[in-house]
Amino acid sequence: MANRKRPYQYIVRLSEPETWLLYDKVSQAGSSQQEYIRRCILGAQVINTDGLKQLLPELKRIGNNLNQIARSCNQGKQAAAEEVAAIRIEVCEICALLKQQLADILR
């Protein structure tokens, strides 16, 4: 136990409503109970970033499309206007989702 970064353990007794409130807050935060309590103690803002996980596949798909367009342009081919327009729409959708996530976080 001497090699552990956090060797101290505390037991806290809660009433049933307090327990459910803790469970709700931990699930909203999207982290473990330990991490949630640690952040509360340290005064850090607890933010749920679960919605951002949905954006990663979209961003990867857009990156792949951009790479294909860049490869075509480097080979002397012109990028199709439809491809560029589709990527522009996807980027606008991603921006809208990011703005929504930011608005949710700041509430």
How many other CB atoms sit within 10 Å of the CB of residue 24? 10
Q: How many CA atoms lie within 13 A of 88 on its CB side?
A: 6
Q: What is the pLDDT along the chain (107 residues), one digit of tens a residue?
A: 566 788 888 888 999 999 999 888 888 777 788 888 888 888 776 666 666 677 778 778 888 877 887 777 777 777 667 777 777 787 888 778 777 777 776 66
- pTM of the entire predicted model: 0.45
The answer to whether 48 touches 29, Cβ cutoff 8 Å, is yes
Domain ranges of the chain: 1-48, 50-106
Task: Locate 3 and state its tokens.
Answer: 């090699």
Distance of alpha carbon 37 from alpha carbon 46, whole angstroms = 10
